[in-house]
Amino acid sequence: MTRTKVAIIGSGNIGTDLMIKVMRLSRTLEMGAFVGIDPESDGLKRAERLGVPITAEGVDGLVAMPGFAEIEIVFDATSAGAHQHHNAVLQAHGKRVIDLTPAAIGPYTIPPVNGEAHLDAPNVNMVTCGGQATIPIVAAINRVARVHYGEIVASIASKSAGPGTRANIDEFTETTSQAIMDVGGATRGKAIIVLNPAEPPLIMRDTVYCLCEDGDRDAIRASIEAMVAEVQTYVPGYRLKQAVQFESIGDNQPLRIPEMAETGRTEFTGLKVTVFLEVEGAAHYLPAYAGNLDIMTSAALRTAEKIAARMHEGAAA
Active site residues: 129
In angstroms, what is the C-alpha Rg of the chain?
20
* Cis, peptide link before residue 136, omega less than 30° from 0: no
Residue type at position 194: V
The phi and psi torsions of 209 (rounded to 5 degrees) equal -110, 125
- Listed in sequence order, the residues at least 6 apart from 284 whose beta carbon sits closer than 8 Å to its beta carbon are 17, 20, 21, 24, 294, 297
Tell me which H or E stretch contains 6.
strand 4-9
Cβ count within 10 A of residue 287: 15
Q: Is 134 exposed, middle or buried (0-12, 13-18, 19+ CB in 10 A)?
A: buried
Q: How far is CA 69 from CA 94, 119, 227, in A?
A: 10, 21, 39
